[in-house]
Amino acid sequence: MKAFVVEKYGKDGVSAADVPEPAVGDRDVLVRVSATSINPLDKMVRNGEFKQLLKYKAPFVLGHDVAGVVTRVGSAVRDFKAGDEVFARPRDLRIGGFAEFIAIDQDDVAPKPESLTLEEAAAVPLVALAAWQILVDRARVKPGQKVLIHAGAGGLGSTVIQLAKHLGATVATTANSRSEELVRSLGADVVIDYSKEDFSKVLSGYDVVLDSLGGANLEKSLTVLKPGGLAVGVAGPPDAGFAKQLGAPSFMGVVMNLLSRKIRKQAKKLGVRYQFFFMQANGSQLRKLGALYDGGQLRPVIDRVFPFDRTLEAMAHVEQGRTKAGKVVVSMASDIH
């Protein structure tokens, strides 16, 4: 089958290749991929940023999002059958959406939302799961709380805005003036044009901040939180909880805590909290999210669709910051130009 494979870590490490179709285990669902999408995590894995914790063996197929049609199931699979349309974020060490077929553990798979096309569904799993796990599992957002979401027009930000609004929060976001209409239509109550205003000078008393930029932006984010508030960072720095989540040896937790020592110290001084976030595959949560898409509470935001043979171009489009809003999708359909 055709696939895009990491031959070696680094910017030029991905290439098109012919690889064997994946083996199907007892608990696996074999999916013919209809569409996938590009995530910043693809670049991070390609560059080896987590190689001490996620020990991929090159060559391996890249790609963290999948929508497609089940072609075969393992002997222990009961909830899926050939012909089912599904979507998934395959678990770490079993990714591989940039291919014609992928075998996924049944626990990571959910039925595709009926209201979405396969291409739309491919834009959803990673960002929707991240939004749910940040707002519901970590922050336990309640109606009336205040949530700040940086980069609200991005793939993750546009999803988190919608879910935060659904949960009853007052939502602020940073975006450029070009994206203001979009983020307001998604549910943002307050929009800060980052090219003209410093969010930390105009916002205060927030319960939760989601930071996807890191560095100085994360440090300033701590200052808009109310006492006890939580800053969640998806761009790092990582903390001991990340190492524990991935089942790493305890010394790796010590290393991760050293990396995040400065920001955690700043947070403590301000009476707030900082946590690094790395999402996990979860088919049952995807089912709940699918119902929200079908109910109209959430909608995918898609920037552009590339054909499968231009997957590397699609990755470059995201990496070079050319995405105007939402996700970049890669489709197996032959009529994409």
How does pLDDT run across 281-310, given as a tens digit for each residue?
999 999 999 999 999 999 999 999 999 999
Q: What is the pLDDT of residue 336?
A: 63
Beta 109-111 vs 85-88: how paired, if at all?
Answer: antiparallel
Distance separating alpha carbons of residues 305 and 14, to the nearest angstrom: 20
Token code pair at residue 49: 């940023």
Which residue is associated with the tokens 């560059």?
47
Token code pair at residue 207: 């319960």
Give the number of other Cβ atoms within 10 Å of residue 294's Cβ: 14
Beta 2-6 vs 14-18: how paired, if at all?
Answer: antiparallel
Question: pTM, whole model, 2 decimals?
Answer: 0.97
Give the number of other Cβ atoms within 10 Å of residue 115's Cβ: 13
Average pLDDT over residues 17-28: 98
**pLDDT of 337 strictly over 60:** no
What's the pLDDT band for 335 if we cut at 50, 70, 90? low
Which CATH superfamily includes the segment(s) 126-276? Answer: NAD(P)-binding Rossmann-like Domain (3.40.50.720)
Q: What are the beta bridge partners of residue 211?
A: 233
Average pLDDT over residues 254-280: 96
Type of residue at 94: R
Distance separating alpha carbons of residues 47 and 63, to the nearest angstrom: 13
Which string of b and e fits 218-246 if b means at least 16 CB within 10 Å? bbbbbbbbeeebbbbbbbbbbbbbbbebb
**pLDDT of 334 strictly over 80:** no
% of the chain with per-residue pLDDT over 70: 99
Helices 125-132 and 283-294, axial angle in degrees (round to 10): 100
Residues of the chain with CATH 3.90.180.10: 2-124+300-331
CATH annotation of 2-124+300-331? 3.90.180.10
Type of residue at 98: F
Distance separating alpha carbons of residues 225 and 217, to the nearest angstrom: 13
Give the number of other Cβ atoms within 10 Å of residue 334's Cβ: 8
What's the pLDDT band for 122 if we cut at 50, 70, 90? very high
% of the chain with per-residue pLDDT over 90: 95
**pLDDT of 266 strictly over 90:** yes
Instruction: Show Cβ contacts of residue 215 under 8 Å, excluding neighbours closer than 6 positions.
Output: none
Q: What is the pLDDT of residue 273?
A: 98
Residues of the chain with CATH 3.40.50.720: 126-276
CA-nearest of 152, 97, 93, 90 to 119 is 97
Token code pair at residue 277: 């976030």
